[in-house]
Structures are given as structure tokens and as C-alpha cells.
Structure 1
């Protein structure tokens, strides 16, 4: 799990929408980029300005699709025409 803290209300809104719709969200924190599903968005009541803690469950990176066998450029049954 990845925990991210922010005070940006626009960013919090984006995470809440992603959580509600079940979509993945991407966060850039320093040099690392994390993409995954938002598990929770919690507001910290005792801080001024308000801050939120966002918990993201990272997803595994997608694998590259394997190359399919190349099809023959010759049409099937082309030998029937010769």
C-alpha cells in the first residue's frame, strides 16, 4: 500500500472520483510514480489548512503483449490458381 498526503482540494476530488468509479489513479511523489486503485481518502480534522491522507493499492504493471505468429503473405489456396 502507498500512503500519500496532500492539501490540494482538486487533487483530493480527483482521487475521490477515481475511488467512487473504481478507476485507477496515478500519483507522482518525488521521483516515483504510483498507479493503482484508491482504497481510502481520509481528512485530518486537526490541521489548518485541511489535509487528506490517501491510500492507494499499487497495481502490477501490464505485461507487453506477446508477438503473434506472422501470417503468411500468400493467400490461402493460392496454389489453386496456378
Structure 2
């Protein structure tokens, strides 16, 4: 799991929407870029400014293997069109 802390209200809202809709979200910090599902967003009340602690479960990278295209469908009575 990846934990990220932000003070940006728009960013926190974007992650809440991603969590609600079940979409993956991407966090770009100075060190790395993490893409995954938002597990939780907790407002931290210990600081003077509003901060949110966001927990993301990273998605595993899958190699994109192109699949073969399906054969074109023929009408039921193909001989009628010939």
C-alpha cells in the first residue's frame, strides 16, 4: 500500500470520486508515480491546515499482448447475398 498526504482540497476530492466510482487513480509525487485503487481517505485533524491522508493499493502492471481479431461474421443466409 502507498500512503500519500495532501493539503489540496481539489486533489482530495478527485481521489474521493475515484474511490466512490471504483476507478483507479494516479498519484505523482517527487519520487514516483503510483497508479491504483483508492482504499481510504482520512482527514487529519492534528494539523492547523486541513490535510488528507490517502491510501492507495497499487495495481500490478500487466503486459499488453495484442489479441487476434475475431473472424468477420457472415449473415445466416450468406448464399442469398452472392
Same fold (TM over 0.5): yes
If you compute each CA radius of gyration, which structure gives the higher value, 1 or 2? Answer: 1
The corresponding residue for 1:72 is: none
Structure 2: tracts of 5 or more residues without a match? 69-82
The corresponding residue for 1:12 is: 12
Separation in 2 of the partners of 1:31 and 1:23?
Answer: 23
User: How far is 1:29 from its partner?
Assistant: 1.1
Structure 1 segments, 4+ long, off by >3 Å, are none
Separation in 1 of the partners of 2:4 and 2:31?
Answer: 14
Q: Kindly report which structure 2 residues correspond to 1:1-82, keeping only aligned pairs within 5 A, or say none.
A: 1-66=1-66, 68=68
TM-score of the superposed pair, with normalisation by structure 1? 0.77
Separation in 1 of the partners of 2:5 and 2:40?
Answer: 12
Structure 1: tracts of 5 or more residues without a match? 69-82
TM-score of the superposed pair, with normalisation by structure 2? 0.77
